A and B are shown apart, each in its own frame.
Chain A
């Protein structure tokens, strides 16, 4: 069963200074599946992504990537991260590099792709996501939406097996959210396996294969979006969705 999954998380615990942020999370992600993590701020969504990326050390439990355990301390974290992509809420582009250099840094320095080839694929990706004319620009010359699209392109330029998206639209003005969501939709159509945390419920409903509701470090409920959004089984899920609805973000 594990062999079939891109990612398998079993009994994952993580805490900071004695406070438990993740309390025994189990999650499986199949190839080409899009998993959306929803839940209030502080529910542990982002921490879960950071654990998968090995930016955080887990306290207990295991994470398997393509059948191999990555939470073993003997595993080389750099080798694991080569197969993963992550996009952050705050873009985190390298401000001293042009868009093209931001995208080609990892392919050239980590995956040993020759410069000409790396730049060609980067330009293809930029073209595909409507940024063909911004290859030479620097991050601070771009709008927030453009920066985030570049960050997504940077993450997929190394052809990761799994893409992690951490609140990628939360720092953007509403009219810029659309262009970033368009990119994610296109990646799904291309078959990218993704885990994303989001507050955009309607988008989540549209794109997710599986929605997971986290509350206080516990995975309360998991299911296809149609079921979670229309017929949630757990009281806390219902409560969360009601409060989101009332805030007008649905």
Chain B
């Protein structure tokens, strides 16, 4: 039986490492404080600071605008929550259709390619306007004319095209030997995709997907252009009444509060998959 006794040299090494960790932590703290003090000093000593403080950082306007802007922000969240699963479905379907090899599916495949080309090319703002005003103008039976629904449709079409490409790159990143292994076991194409390729592909594209969703969260504000009173429009209304820009800051703050957890979660997932690959 060999039992472990820590050597003196090892104890010393650990002491040095510990003191080094402590030192770098305190260095980081001090330099952060100095940096912040400098930034605050430079900004508050700018010649126009007085005016900026009054128009952008008015506590009175902040508290007055907050309830309305927050209420509008609930609409942003609602649009985001509904659009996100729809985008995942559209993106996955389009990516799968693009992968179909059989000549029977040529028209579908062509449609999928045309869709991604077109909807990634058109600015999202234009898409929101075109669908928001164009679709109801058709006077189709059963077509929605509620601006929130129209906004969700526009965002889904736009982001569906991006997400389809993300899924497609994930599918293509799975090594062909995995497909060969599945097919050689007698699994047909569809089951090979479902059980072998997609589970691996989806795991790989989670970080870029979350990145797209962070972008989507912000772009929900584009539906303001077709008459939805969401957070940004609420802020605008307040600004128009008081000529004070603080409500914009309120809206910005709310968006940041929503996207930061998502961004940290993306980082966490990326770091985890990095660790796994290293293992």
- A residues near B (Cβ < 8 Å) are 53, 55, 77-79, 81-82, 84-86, 88, 90, 92-96, 105-106, 109-111, 140, 154-155, 158
Contact = CB atoms under 8 A, between A and B. Distances in A.
A108 B255 CA distance: 48
Contacts of B188: 78
A96 B199 contact: yes
A85 to B, nearest CB: 8
Interface string B161-205: 000000000000000011011111111100100011001100100
A67 B181 CA distance: 25
A95 B196 CA distance: 9
A88 B186 CA distance: 15
A105 B199 contact: no
B140 interface: no
Contacts of A84: 184
A78 B186 contact: yes
Given A55-B180, A88-B177, A92-B177, A109 B191 contact: yes
B22 interface: no
Nearest to A157: B185
A183 to B, nearest CB: 18
Nearest to A155: B185
A158 B186 contact: yes
30 contacts: A77-B183, A78-B183, A78-B188, A79-B186, A81-B183, A81-B185, A82-B186, A85-B185, A86-B184, A88-B180, A92-B177, A92-B181, A94-B182, A94-B195, A94-B196, A96-B200, A96-B203, A105-B182, A105-B185, A105-B187, A105-B195, A106-B185, A106-B186, A106-B187, A109-B191, A110-B185, A110-B187, A111-B186, A140-B279, A158-B185
Interface string B212-254: 0000000000000000000000000000000000000000000
Contacts of B195: 94, 105, 109
B185 A53 contact: no
A82 B187 CA distance: 8
A55 B182 CA distance: 11
A158 B184 CA distance: 11
A236 B35 CA distance: 77
A105 B186 CA distance: 10
Contacts of A106: 185-187
Nearest to B184: A86
Binding site secondary structure of chain B: helix
B144 to A, nearest CB: 39
Contact of B186 (A55, A92, A94, A110): A110
A109 B188 CA distance: 10
Given A94-B196, A96-B199, 16 more contacts: A53-B184, A55-B183, A81-B185, A81-B186, A88-B180, A92-B178, A93-B181, A94-B181, A94-B195, A105-B185, A105-B195, A106-B187, A109-B195, A110-B185, A111-B186, A158-B185
A155 B178 CA distance: 14
B179 to A, nearest CB: 10
Contacts of B178: 92, 94
Contacts of B199: 96
A166 B279 CA distance: 28
Contacts of A94: 178, 181-182, 195-196, 200
B204 to A, nearest CB: 10
Contacts of B182: 94, 105
Nearest to B195: A105
Given A96-B203, A140-B279, A90 B185 contact: no
B256 to A, nearest CB: 35
